[in-house]
Amino acid sequence: MANTQSLIEQLHRIVKDASRVIVDHESLVPFKSDYSSEGTTPLAVVFPITTKEASEILLLANQYKTPVFPRGRGTSLSGGPVPVVEGIIMDSTKWTSTLEIDPNNLIAVASPGVITADIDKAASKHGLMYPPDPSSLDIATIAGNVAENAGGPRGLKYGVTGDYVLGLEIVTPEGKVMKTGGKTMKNVTGYDLTGLITGSEGTLAVVSQVTLKLIPRPKETRTLSATFEDMTLAGNAVSAVLQNGLLPSKLEFIDQACIKAVEKFEPMDLPVFAEALLLAEVDGTGENVQKEIDEIALIFENFGGCVTVAKNETESNRLWKARKLVSPAIKALCSWKLSEDATVPVSQIPAMIKRLKTIGEKYNVPLVVFGHAGDGNLHPNLLLDKEDAGQLERAELAVKEIFQSALELGGTLSGEHGIGMLKSPFLKNEVGETGIDMMRRIKKAWDPNNILNPGKIFSADDNL
C-alpha cells in the first residue's frame, strides 16, 4: 500500500497536470473492461501526452515492477487493454497533438491518441485516403489500431492497418525511445521492427507516433446488394467474384439471423426470408467502376442472387445501413455478445458457414454470422444470456469448436481482433509449441520484467 502511494506520487511527479492521473476508485472502474471482457481495477490511469512522459512512466514501472496496460478507447474485442493484474493503465486518448498530412509524399503522421477516422478525414482534404476501416474507426485510436493490426471491410482490396504503417516512434518496455521504419515506401534496413510492433497487442512497446502511408482517394464508388435463398450459394458467389479477377473494395456477408435482427431493430423492409445477404462496393475511376459492378451483379445472379444496384449515394447508404446496424441489433437481443473472427481461405467460406451453423445447433447456442466474406474473415457471434450458466458453458465449447474448424479448414484463430486474453488458451493449436517459444523469446528479450501488458497473447499454461 505504501508502495502504491509512492508509485502514485511518482506518477504525479512525471505528469504534472493532476487531471491526467486518475486514482479514485469510482473513476478507475470503467478501465477494467474493454468491449469484450473484464479484468481487475487498475491502481491508476495515467494519460501521457509526450514521449518523455511515456518513457518516464515505463522507467518508473520497471523500478516498481508494476505492469503497464496501454489503452486507447477500449474497443478491443479480445481483451487487449484489459488489466489482468493490478497495474497502471497508460491511456493515449489525450495524446492527440500531432496530425500532419504530407500530400507530396502521401504520408500522414499522427500522435497515438488520434482517432482513426480523423486521419482519413484530414487525408481526404488533399484527395487522399487512409484505407483501413475497422468498425470502431470513429471511436478507436490509431495506436490501438496499430497494436491490434486492425482490419475492416476495405481489407479485401486495401489490406489492414499494418499495410499502411511505414514507421513508428516507440517507447520500449524499459523506457527507451526509438524510431522504426521511416517515410519511404521501401525500407529493408535491419529487422522489420515496424511490422513486429504492429499487431503485438501492446506487449512489446508503447507507440508514441505513427507514420502512415496514404493513397489517392478513389473518385467513385458503387454499391450493390444481393439476397440469396441458399446460404451456400451465397458463399460460392463470393468465391466466384474473386476467382473472376474482380476485386471489390468491400464484400460483406450477413446471415438470415442478422437480417431478422436488424429488421426487428429498425424495420426497413429487409428480405427476412433470405438465408443470406451480400453487399459489395466497387471503387475506382470512370467506366471501370460501372463495368465491375455489372460483372459482380451478373455473377451473383448466376448463383441465384436477387440483385439491387444503388443508383446514387442515398441508395448506397440505405443498403449499407443494414450492415452497419447488425452489431447494435444483435446486441439488443442478448445480455452478452461474444464476437469471434475466425478466418479461413476464401474457398472455404461455404464450408465454414455450414460448420458454424452446425456448431450453433450442436451446442444449442444462438449463433449468427456476418463479416468480411471477401477475405474469408467471418464474424460468428454468440448471443448469450449472462445469467444462464449452462448456456455459457456450452458457448465455451462452441467457441473451441469454431477455432478448431477454422484451423482444420486452413484458417486462423484471428483475422483482425487479436489474441488478447480471450484466445490465448488456443494459440498453441495454431502456432505450436515452437511458435509460442519463439514469440516468448522476443517478449522476454524486450521486456525482461514483463511490464508491458502481461497476460496477453500468451497463456499462463504456455510458459514453456
Q: Which of residues 35-54 bind its own copies (CB under 8 A)?
A: none
Alpha helices per DSSP H over 266-362: 287-302, 313-324, 326-331, 349-362
**Segment 220-279, which members bind its own copies (CB under 8 A)?**
239, 242-243, 245-247
Query: Among 149, 249, 339, 381, which residue sits at the site for its own copies (rule: CB under 8 A)?
Result: 149
Query: Among 8, 59, 99, 193, which residue sits at the site for its own copies (rule: CB under 8 A)?
Result: 193
CA distance 41 to 63: 21
Residue whose C-alpha is closest to residue 317's, from 281, 276, 284, 277: 281
Contact indicator for 420, 80 with CB cutoff of 8 Å: yes
**What is the SS3 assignment for 89?**
strand
Query: Among 100, 216, 301, 393, which residue sits at the site for its own copies (rule: CB under 8 A)?
Result: 216
Beta carbons within 8 Å of 53's beta carbon, 6+ residues apart:
14, 15
**Which span (52-60, 62-70, 304-312, 342-350) binds its own copies, by CB under 8 A?**
342-350
Least spacing, CB of residue 428 vs its own copies, in Å: 10
Q: Is 375 in the site for its own copies (CB under 8 A)?
A: yes
User: Strand ranges (DSSP E) for 341-447?
Assistant: 367-372, 377-384
Hey, what's the cell of 210? 505513427
Q: Is 127 in the site for its own copies (CB under 8 A)?
A: yes
User: What number of chain residues touch its own copies (CB under 8 A)?
Assistant: 89
Query: Among 212, 346, 369, 452, which residue sits at the site for its own copies (rule: CB under 8 A)?
Result: 346
Hey, what's the cell of 368? 449468427
CA distance 159 to 65: 38
Query: Among 96, 98, 105, 459, which residue sits at the site for its own copies (rule: CB under 8 A)?
Result: 105
* Main-chain phi, psi angles of 212, to 5 degrees: -120, 145
**Which span (9-17, 47-55, 221-229, 375-383) binds its own copies, by CB under 8 A?**
375-383
Closest CB to its own copies among residues 112, 152: 152
Residue whose C-alpha is closest to residue 200's, from 156, 161, 158: 161
Which x/- pattern, by CB under 8 A, does the window 85-104 give for its own copies? -----------------xxx
Least spacing, CB of residue 349 vs its own copies, in Å: 10
**Which span (1-9, 28-36, 69-77, 427-435) binds its own copies, by CB under 8 A?**
427-435
Query: Among 42, 81, 132, 284, which residue sits at the site for its own copies (rule: CB under 8 A)?
Result: 284
Least spacing, CB of residue 184 vs its own copies, in Å: 5
Instruction: Report the helix count and the strand count for the chain, using DSSP H and E.
Output: 15, 18
- Quick one: 202 exposed, middle or buried, by C-beta within 10 A (0-12, 13-18, 19+)? buried
Q: Is 162 in the site for its own copies (CB under 8 A)?
A: yes
Closest CB to its own copies among residues 84, 107: 107
